[in-house]
Amino acid sequence: MPWKFVTITAAAVLAGSFTAAVAGNDWATRDEAQAMVRKAVTFVKTEGPEKAYAAFTKKSPDFIDRDLYVVVYGLDGKVLAHGANEKLVGKEMIEAQDVDGKFFVKERVELAKTNATFWQDYKFVNPVSKKIEPKQMYCERLGDTAVCGGVYKF
């Protein structure tokens, strides 16, 4: 009789682990954001900014994964590529604020001017849930740009 309890318990644990693993795949991780940004930086270096920015903005499957996408800002705050909202490309966003009044683009470009890589916290609309949620953005400076990809914090 004890073996039935162990088998049922093991099955429940495995089912719970599988559910957690599936649920965990719904949202990108910090490691995936860093990998995506590194891949984007390499793509800009090998293919050139024009081709790379177009791929990021057109939602190339290589540069969008669930809620993770690539954005590129000039160090003046101008959006050069945006994988979630192509209407932002070409816009000066230096004065953009999140719901808490944080000037997140201004902070991002200031961080990029002094750091080769960095993480930044702010709030932004999740393109999957369509809700404003806490987000962490990973960025790497590339010349006079910041190439970024972020994850939503749950």
pLDDT tens, position by position, 78-94: 999 999 999 999 999 99
Q: What is the pLDDT of residues 98-132, one digit of tens each?
A: 999 999 999 999 999 999 999 999 998 887 788 99
Predicted confidence band of residue 18 (pLDDT cuts 50, 70, 90): very low
Instruction: Give the per-residue pLDDT at 102.
Output: 96
Query: Which superfamily, per CATH, for 28-152?
Result: PAS domain (3.30.450.20)
What are the C-alpha distances in Å from 132 to residues 17, 20, 123, 129? 29, 24, 6, 8
Q: Give the integer Cα–Cα distance in Å for 127 and 69.
A: 10
What's the pLDDT at 3? 42
| pLDDT of residue 134 exceeding 70 | yes
5, pLDDT greater than 60: no
Residues 32-67 pLDDT 10s: 999 999 999 999 999 999 999 999 999 888 999 988
Q: Residue 8 pLDDT > 60, yes or no?
A: no
Res. 23: pLDDT tops 60: no
Residue 17, pLDDT above cutoff 50: no
Smallest CA-to-CA distance from 137 within 113, 114, 109 is with 109
Q: What is the pLDDT of residue 154?
A: 65
81 phi/psi in degrees, rounded to 5: -155, 145
pLDDT at 28 exceeding the cut of 50: yes
- Residue-level pLDDT at 129: 85
